[in-house]
Amino acid sequence: MTSKKEIGWNFDNSYARLPNTFFSTVKPNPVDAPKLVILNDSLAGTLGFDADALKTAEGIEILAGNHVPEGSAPLAQAYAGHQFGHFNMLGDGRAMLVGEHITPEDNRVDIQLKGSGRTPFSRGGDGRAALGPMLREYIISEAMHALRIPTTRSLAVVATGESIIRESMLHGAILTRVADSHIRVGTFQYAANWRPVEELRILADYTIQRHYPEIEGDENPYLSLLQEVIKRQAALISKWQLAGFIHGVMNTDNMTISGETIDYGPCAFMDSYDLATVFSSIDREGRYAYGNQPYIGGWNLARFAETLLPLLHDEQEEAVKIAQDAISGYNKIYQTHWLAGMRAKLGIFNEEKDDEVLFTDLLKIMQKNKADYTNTFRSLTLDKIEEAPIFDDAEFAKWHEQWQDRLSRQNVPKESVSKLMRNSNPSVIPRNHRVEEALEAAAEKGDYSVLKKLLEVLSQPYAYSKDQEEYCKLPESSSIPYQTFCGT
């Protein structure tokens, strides 16, 4: 055990005080030769940790799961989930919740080790993770944070010194993940399907107290919980769409109640704009394609609403009506967020009824021309439309004229328009080829310089700096579609 004072641990493990049916207590699964690959010094400071202490042998032993810090209560959470539409009992099969850390600002966060070994929920798996996928999550989650998209964070990646078997032998690694919590839609599905109603109520009350304390006194706090989760998820998914982010596995066990993005498996950012874009090797039917994400968000929320039915009203029929009324508002909330985001991307400060047509017309032109999503908005932001491949399209010329007319009607200085667009359109994103380049150098050659440079560039996506220009370039064309893999 290590002392609290050396690193700065400050645990208060409220989830461990729930009925023990919601988790299994676990012990560390020691690894052979842990070595720190990367530590997020900035995040460590925000959490109140001594980054230098985390980099010592004792700190690395904790990040590797070999030892647990004083005050922690290691456990694996139980949950279920619809995976590609099929309902399964799941749980943390390769993750250990070390405990809940209270930051200097009095914020409560989960500290979880991903890839830390077998648990009672492993279902035959080895409970381990490979270095490449853990570094991918580190890159993408930190990029999402910089893009101001709610997300879990990555504190560290530790190489385990062990090899794991996937399609081939790979270097093992453990990611330290930080989250507001790991309570998921799937957590509620587990309670609703296999636990008594009273335990479901305990989970709902706990979730309200932890994430939505302002609704505790509401007339129907469980309806308010449903409404608040709908709001957060609608806002979150609109941000995904606006950034061209594709999650890849929007299973109900990957939808948090807190409204954070979680589980960066086969995720990626879109290059050419196309609603049908899919990167995940396991999404053969396109269920989680870019254009389907808003719909799937609503579908997942409907599954969440179903779990709350016994709490919404004593009469089943009335409970269903209450849930349906709440879910029916999701599309409007999502659309409101998306429209506001598109207005910002195009420098528009006020609202007009035809704005949506203006936006969808541009996207249709982009899809027809296979235009790069991020770089098209970057060119518009810099007023360098000649750099955009759609510049020679007559439809685009007409659209551009309509957009300029729209801007002229709002009577806002050009400088303000430019500032809004620069603050809403990232100059850089984690381009797939750049991510793969960094992962290959790190996982196969032990060269982390490419990774660190990429992280540096991605940390300020709205800077429009000179050193970012190289990272705006598109990959060379290839006849082989880019694919991502879940890493399990």
The answer to whether position 419 is within a domain reads: no
CA distance 250 to 304: 14
What gap in Å lies between CA 407 and CA 335, rounded to an integer? 21
Residues 78 and 165 in one domain: yes
CB 61 within 8 A of CB 67: yes
Distance between CA atoms of residues 472 and 427, nearest Å:
7
> Residue 114 pairs with which residues in a beta bridge?
95, 175
Q: How many Cβ atoms sit within 10 Å of the Cβ of residue 86?
A: 8
- Let me know whether 190 and 266 are in one domain: yes
> In terms of domains, do 151 and 251 share one?
no
> ∠164-483-437 over CA atoms, to 5°?
70
Domain tally, the chain:
2
102 and 144 co-located in one domain? yes
d(CA 337, CA 237): 9
- Domain region containing 11: 4-179
Of 337, 357, 384, which closes a domain?
A: 337
Contact 486, 282 (CB under 8 A): yes
Place of tokens 């086969």: 266
- β-partners of residue 360 are none
Last residue of a domain, one of 149, 179, 209: 179
Residue after which a domain boundary falls, among 322, 337, 352: 337
Q: How far apart are CA 426 and CA 378, in angstroms?
A: 7
The three-state DSSP-derived secondary structure of 205-239 is HHHHHHHCHHHCCCCCHHHHHHHHHHHHHHHHHHH
- 205 plus 266 within the same structural domain: yes
Query: pTM value?
Result: 0.95
Across 422-443, b (16+ Cβ under 10 Å) vs e yields bebbbbbbbbbebbbebbebbb
Residues whose CB is less than 8 angstroms from the CB of residue 159 and which lie 6 or more positions away in sequence, other chains included: 34, 35, 36, 37, 131, 171, 172, 173
Count CA atoms closer than 13 A to 129's CA, side-chain side.
31
Distances (CA, A) of 13 to 10, 190, 388, 479: 10, 21, 52, 51
| Contact yes or no for 152/260 (Cβ under 8 A) | yes
Residue 412 resides in a domain: no
Are 173 and 189 found together in one domain?
no
The owner of tokens 């890849």 is: 248
239 and 106 inside one domain = no
Active site residues: 253
Q: What is the pLDDT along the chain (488 residues), one digit of tens a residue?
A: 444 448 999 999 999 999 999 999 999 899 989 999 999 999 999 999 999 999 999 999 999 999 999 999 999 999 999 999 999 999 999 999 999 999 999 999 999 999 999 999 998 889 999 999 999 999 999 999 999 999 999 999 999 999 898 778 899 999 999 999 999 999 999 999 999 999 999 999 999 999 999 999 999 999 999 999 999 999 999 999 999 999 999 999 999 999 999 999 899 999 999 999 998 878 888 899 999 999 999 999 999 999 999 999 999 999 999 999 999 999 999 999 999 999 999 999 999 999 999 999 999 999 999 999 999 999 999 999 887 778 889 999 999 999 999 999 999 999 999 999 999 999 999 999 999 999 999 999 999 999 999 999 999 999 999 999 999 999 887 555 666 666 55
Same domain, 192 and 330: yes
**CA-closest candidate to residue 80, choices 210, 336, 251, 312:** 251
d(CA 144, CA 127): 26
Is 417 among the domain residues?
no
Q: What confidence score (pLDDT) does residue 483 get?
A: 66
Residues 252 and 323 in one domain: yes
